[in-house]
């Protein structure tokens, strides 16, 4: 398959680049720089289709190394000055911050990127840029909850929701980023008080991922859950009758529409410090925020584009428009150390 061939080629090329760094017998193709070496923690077929399109349009070959975010960050650190990595892609602003703490980024100045990506969805110093957007919303059981009962994240900590809330562990980066956003807006003390009261309202101890929370709501184990929107959309598009039964029993709600807006997060990317093909890396990022690439992201993985005016997947579109919390997503990571401590104090396992 073409995808496997590219991945194998990427691994072989990257291994060769590391061993040959600084050598005088570098191949003419490498010297010309008609490659871009991408380390990615996103694992979607649509991404590979985009990389093929980028190569077709520019002639620049994409060599791909996939892995978990923390593993790739550690790999780039260990490779040091000899790293062949040009671009690092990951999901969640909290993980982008971890890469920043590891000092693996270099700032990028690009009018294309700065014009296309809203200010709140990119690093203030140009270290990374959002590529896709995901909303962390509420899913509720339609037999147990009236939409009029729902309002804000904060309201889920009120006594009316005692033993009714499901959410995954505070160790999950999505929840850490939600808390990081609240710290930025409300402060540590208020966020910790909210987390303590939310824990008191848990219907069960956190377990599983976002899809498990949705299924728990449908099964009546809890009445409402905090999840990323695309998990519900995936179930809605499934042909499995069991998944369709879950969708028929649940609905979604965008919280905080009367004040700051619904929390959003991103997948994002930046240029690695010392990138051997810096110009190609910037061209690659600029391509990923082009209208054609943003349409592929939006239609292929149930995500929202970061660029305005792009059509989105019909199932996601049916969820409706919503007001977005416009706090800069870089705050999620900056507040992460305090978030981990407050979640522990609150008893959110």
- Condensed to tens digits (0 to 9), the pLDDT of residues 271-319 reads 999 999 999 999 999 999 999 999 998 888 899 999 999 999 999 999 9
DSSP 27: -
Say whether pLDDT at 138 is over 70: yes
- Which among 174, 300, 160, 301 is positioned nearest to 228, based on CA atoms? 174
Q: How far is CA 165 from CA 4, 120, 261, 324, in A?
A: 42, 29, 20, 23
In this predicted structure, the answer to whether residue 21 has a pLDDT above a threshold of 50 is no
* Per-residue pLDDT band at 259 (split at 50, 70, 90): very high
Report, as an integer, the average pLDDT of 154-174. 97
Lowest mean pLDDT among 9-23, 38-52, 57-71: 9-23
Q: What is the pLDDT of residue 289?
A: 97
Q: What is the mean pLDDT of residues 182-209?
A: 98
Q: Give the domain ranges of the chain.
A: 2-132+264-312, 135-262+321-346
Task: Give residue 299's pLDDT.
Answer: 82
Which CATH number applies to 135-262+321-346: 3.30.1330.10, 3.40.190.10, 3.40.50.300, 3.30.70.260? 3.40.190.10
Angle at 176 between CA 172 and CA 180, to 5 degrees: 170
Confidence of residue 18 (pLDDT cuts 50, 70, 90): very low
- The pLDDT, as a whole number, for residue 53 is 95
Q: How far apart are CA 55 and CA 189, in angstroms?
A: 50
**If you classify domain 2-132+264-312 with CATH, what class do you get?**
alpha beta
| pTM, full prediction | 0.88
pLDDT band (50, 70, 90) for residue 33? low
Average of per-residue pLDDT values in the chain = 91
Same topology between domain 2-132+264-312 and domain 135-262+321-346: yes
The whole-number pLDDT of residue 26 equals: 39
């Amino acid at each position: 398959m073409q995808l496997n061939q590219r991945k194998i080629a990427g691994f072989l090329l990257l291994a060769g680049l590391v061993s040959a760094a600084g050598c005088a017998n570098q191949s003419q193709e490498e010297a010309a720089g008609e490659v871009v070496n991408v380390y990615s923690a996103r694992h979607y077929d649509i991404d590979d289709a985009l990389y093929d399109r980028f190569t077709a349009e520019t002639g620049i070959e994409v060599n791909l190394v996939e892995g978990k975010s923390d593993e790739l960050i550690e790999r780039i650190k260990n490779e040091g000055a000899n790293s062949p990595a040009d671009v690092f892609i990951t999901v969640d602003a909290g993980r982008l911050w971890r890469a920043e703490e590891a000092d693996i980024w270099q700032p990028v100045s690009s009018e294309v990127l700065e014009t296309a990506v809203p200010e709140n969805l990119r690093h203030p110093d140009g270290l990374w840029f959002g590529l896709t957007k995901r909303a962390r919303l509420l899913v509720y059981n339609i037999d147990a909850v009236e939409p009029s009962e729902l309002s804000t994240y904060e309201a889920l900590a009120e006594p009316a929701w005692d033993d009714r809330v499901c959410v995954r562990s505070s160790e999950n980066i999505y929840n850490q980023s939600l808390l990081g956003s609240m710290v930025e807006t409300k402060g540590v003390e208020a966020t910790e008080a909210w987390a303590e009261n939310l824990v008191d309202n848990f219907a069960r101890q956190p377990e599983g991922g976002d899809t498990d929370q949705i299924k728990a709501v449908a099964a009546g184990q809890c009445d409402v859950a905090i999840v990323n929107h695309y998990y519900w959309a995936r179930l809605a598009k499934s042909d499995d009758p069991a998944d369709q039964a879950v969708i028929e029993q649940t609905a979604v709600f965008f919280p905080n529409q009367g004040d700051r807006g619904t929390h959003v997060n991103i997948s994002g990317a930046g240029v690695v410090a010392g990138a051997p093909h810096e110009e190609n890396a910037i061209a690659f990022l600029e391509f990923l925020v082009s209208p054609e690439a943003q349409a592929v992201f939006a239609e292929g993985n149930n995500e929202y584009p970061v660029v305005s005016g792009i059509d989105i997947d019909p199932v996601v579109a049916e969820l409706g428009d919503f007001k977005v919390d416009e706090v800069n997503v870089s705050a999620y990571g900056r507040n992460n150390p305090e978030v981990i401590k407050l979640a522990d104090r609150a008893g959110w396992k």
